[in-house]
Amino acid sequence: MTNYIIRRLLHMIPTLILISMVSFVVIQAPPGDMLTSRLAELAEQGELGSESAMAQIDALRERYGLNDPIYVQYIHWIWKIVSKGDFGQSFTYEMDVMELLAERLGLTLTLTLSTLIFTWIVAIPIGIYSATRQYSIGDYGFTFLGFIGLATPNFLLALVIMFIQVAVFEAESVGGLLSPEYIGAAWTWAKFVDLLKHIWVPIIVIGTGSTAGIIRIMRGNLLDILGQQHIQTGRAKGLKEGKVIVKYGVRIAINPLVSRLGLELPNLLSGAVVTGIVLGLPTAGPIFLTALTSQDMYLAGAFLLLAATFLLIGNLLADILLAWLDPRIRYE
């Protein structure tokens, strides 16, 4: 197992390099660069041709290395990350990229992991219930709700919940992860409790589709396994039905879900980005969108690189968990 983990960690290095190269090139693919918006502002103010304005533009081009070829810009950026841990300066926000992303990326990952836990806690018991009570009223009901959950886009569900909060519960403010008095304040127990009060809305928005999908997969897997011979043998030997289902059915049926963690994490992270934009959350989503529209290559590239790193680590942890659950994989 140790050798397997080391090999996977080594494979992550070229993967991250390739991701960083592709993202760096794609961000700069549209015409113009980071200074395009600044030039447009100067044109509106009638200062585009002034010497001071052009000197400012030239200084910014030199500062951010925009006069260099794209491959030179990429090499300088990667070298600073590897040698100094410096992801560069954000042109849009005029501050260090890591300082800008630190808390927002932490909240994004907290929201993603909380949603993952929520989907599993809700979906697996419902999937077991539907499989053990096939074609019952409850099974049909959960199947119907599952199809609705799969068909509803995250942003639409977010808008519906915001409308319900205002129209039904007469909420004074909607969206956000914290009350106004805690925004920008140091982390305390009171701030953490306030976060728990607000986080359930984005969790439901992000996790509805994944929950519905896991319910369908768990139900189908368990139905297949409950019809196999080893289950029938256990029942014939007089084992309790609960033990047969949990120990010999659920334990095997859950393996495909563990292997799907590598696919679920990117979906949940992208859902967190979209939901953060719609609900106005203090996550990485809104500033990532701003970075893309303004071609802020250092900010957008740093977010994509860090997100890819966390996702690769999540895939590795999912593989380790699967090997722990299924001895056959350890033997292989």
How far CA 279 is from CA of 168, 198, 202, 247, in Å, comes to 18, 11, 8, 42
Which of 235, 213, 231, 233 has its CA nearest to residue 222? 231
Per-residue model confidence as pLDDT tens for the chain (332 residues): 677 778 878 888 888 889 888 888 877 776 666 676 666 666 666 655 566 666 777 777 777 777 788 888 888 888 988 888 888 888 888 888 888 888 788 888 888 888 989 999 999 999 999 999 988 999 999 999 989 988 888 888 888 888 887 777 766 666 677 777 777 777 788 888 888 888 888 898 888 988 999 999 999 999 999 888 888 888 888 888 888 888 888 888 888 888 777 777 777 888 888 888 888 888 888 888 888 888 788 888 888 888 888 888 888 887 787 777 766 665 55
Question: What pLDDT, on the 0 to 100 scale, is given for residue 140?
Answer: 93
Other beta carbons within 10 Å of 128: 20
Question: What pLDDT, on the 0 to 100 scale, is given for residue 40?
Answer: 65
Q: Collapse the DSSP code of 280 into the 3-class scheme (helix H, G, I; strand E, B; otherwise coil) and give the result.
A: coil
**Contact indicator for 92, 39 with CB cutoff of 8 Å:** no
Question: What pLDDT, on the 0 to 100 scale, is given for residue 27?
Answer: 78
Question: What pLDDT, on the 0 to 100 scale, is given for residue 294?
Answer: 80
How far CA 58 is from CA of 53, 132, 266, in Å, comes to 9, 70, 39
Please, what is the Cα angle at 242 between 247 and 135, to 5 degrees?
Answer: 110
CATH class of 110-287: mainly alpha
Report d(CA 319, CA 321) in Å as an integer: 5
**Contact indicator for 85, 76 with CB cutoff of 8 Å:** no
For the record, the structure tokens of 214 come out as 């896991």
Question: CB within 8 A of 143, min separation 6: which ones?
Answer: 130, 216
Ordered by start, the domain boundaries in the chain are 35-84, 110-287
13 forms bridges with which residues in the sheet? none
For the record, the structure tokens of 223 come out as 């139905």
Q: How far apart are the first and last CA of the chain?
A: 10
For the record, the structure tokens of 166 come out as 């205002």
How many whole angstroms from its chain centre is CA 58?
A: 38
Percent of the chain with pLDDT over 90: 11
**Contact indicator for 286, 176 with CB cutoff of 8 Å:** no
Question: What pLDDT, on the 0 to 100 scale, is given for residue 124?
Answer: 93
pLDDT in tens, 129-147: 999 998 899 999 999 998 9
**Contact indicator for 329, 114 with CB cutoff of 8 Å:** no
**Contact indicator for 110, 196 with CB cutoff of 8 Å:** no
